[in-house]
């Protein structure tokens, strides 16, 4: 898994890691049931703390994108791929809106106005 982090990104590192994993899954690099590399390997490859990677993986598990199995590592859950990608895009949209001075409520209003 080739993940990269943007050093200019203001988001916390665990959110960047989660976004990168979501993107990799959404783009088909990993399919349902595929195992991810161990958190320690991901952390080494990214040059960050293992706990940061673990936090990102827990967030993705809580979203239903990943499942943790004792003795088998972390694997991609089946049905969450589309939702996880949509959640990531929604987060990015919200961040863009906030950079332009819009609040979450403003964005919701704009979405409701769409046909």
Rounded to an integer, what distance in angstroms lies between the CA atom of residue 43 and that of residue 48? Answer: 5
Structure pTM?
A: 0.69
Domain annotation covers residue 65: yes
Domain annotation covers residue 3: no
Nearest CA to 26 out of 89, 74, 73 is that of: 89
Rounded to an integer, what distance in angstroms lies between the CA atom of residue 57 and that of residue 34? Answer: 14
Close Cβ partners of 34 (under 8 Å, ≥ 6 residues apart): 75, 76
pLDDT digits (tens, 9 = 90+) for 29-88: 888 889 999 999 999 999 999 999 999 999 999 888 899 988 889 999 864 456 667 777
pLDDT digits (tens, 9 = 90+) for 91-113: 889 988 998 999 999 999 998 99
- pLDDT at residue number 49: 95
Domain annotation covers residue 6: no
User: CATH code at 91?
Assistant: 1.10.10.10
What confidence category does residue 25 fall into, taking pLDDT thresholds of 50, 70 and 90? confident
H/E stretch holding 88 reads helix 81-99
H/E stretch holding 95 reads helix 81-99
Domain count, the chain: 1
Domain of 48 in residue numbering reads as 13-113
- pLDDT at residue number 1: 60
């Amino acid at each position: 898994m080739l993940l990269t982090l943007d050093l200019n990104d203001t988001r916390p590192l665990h959110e960047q890691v989660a976004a990168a994993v979501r993107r990799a899954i959404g783009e088909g690099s990993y399919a349902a049931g595929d195992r991810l590399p161990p958190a320690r390997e991901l952390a080494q490859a990214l040059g960050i703390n293992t706990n940061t990677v673990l936090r990102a993986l827990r967030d993705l598990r809580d979203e239903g994108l990943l499942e943790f199995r004792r003795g088998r590592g972390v694997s991609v859950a089946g049905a969450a791929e589309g939702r996880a990608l949509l959640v990531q895009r929604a987060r990015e949209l919200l961040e863009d809106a906030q950079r332009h001075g819009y609040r979450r409520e403003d964005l919701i209003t704009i979405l409701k106005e769409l046909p």
